Amino acid sequence: MPMDSPFKERYESGDLLYGIADSRMIYCQWWGLESKLRDEPFAMIDYYSLSKDEACAKGNADELYPPSHRQVDFWDTLRSHPVYSSTLSDTHHIIGKWSSYSSETTRRKCKGGLHWAARGRFNMAVHFILDELDMRAVVEKNATWSDGQKLDYVEQGRKWRSCTGAELRWIYRNQADPLVRNTVQFWKYFRPVAPPWEFGHLGGSEAHLWSRYVPRSWRVK
């Protein structure tokens, strides 16, 4: 099972890669996926769209080539969720082959992708790459770019968050869900590892940090 030994040893077609962009690309090269990233089934949630217009703009659909079954299942799964359904009605701008959404919509899309992987009708695994991830920044919600510019901040009542940090915190909050636990596989230094909040393994050197993160949904009211 992905979060527990025996681990899944490699990527399989249809699986999703999560983690910092640079680290994902390194693993894509390792698995020989770099030339297939724009081929369906996509290896990253980035390539899935939130509307048919976006899919057409990306070149993933048109009148003669409708959205794939996986793309439609992603939409259906988001549409049925009380929070992630909002992503399907947000406006966006296409820059080259990429879509630009608000921070909130982007985070919800990425977390919705995790929800979809665990509950959609396709049997897929999520490979979460821990390499180069600042675990303290994830736990404390204070991620920055390499130049020191903040990624995690609140301004005029609106939140901006690092997507990778938001994704990992989502997995932490949902770790007791057997569907999530059987879907997410962590990696570090090209080896499958247990979750980063569990002690006694290669990926658990910073497990103590997670005692600082108490999700609102866990707090006693």
Q: What is the pLDDT of residues 59-97, one digit of tens each?
A: 888 877 888 999 999 999 999 999 999 999 887 666 666
Flag the least confident range among 1-5, 54-58, 208-212.
1-5
Q: How far apart are CA 11 and CA 37, in angstroms?
A: 13
pLDDT value at residue 101: 81
As a dihedral over the C-alpha atoms of residue 131, residue 114, residue 193, residue 205, rounded to 10 degrees, the angle is 60
Residue in the structure block whose two tokens are 């982007």 = 106
Per-residue confidence band for 167, with pLDDT thresholds at 50, 70 and 90: very high
Taking each helix axis as running N to C, give the angle between helix 103-119 and helix 69-79, from 0 to 180 degrees, rounded to the nearest 10: 110
pLDDT (0 to 100) of residue 91 = 77
Residue 95's pLDDT is 64
Asked if pLDDT for residue 202 goes beyond 90, the answer is no
Q: Report the predicted TM-score, pTM, of the whole model to 2 decimal places.
A: 0.91
For residue 218, the model assigns a pLDDT of 82
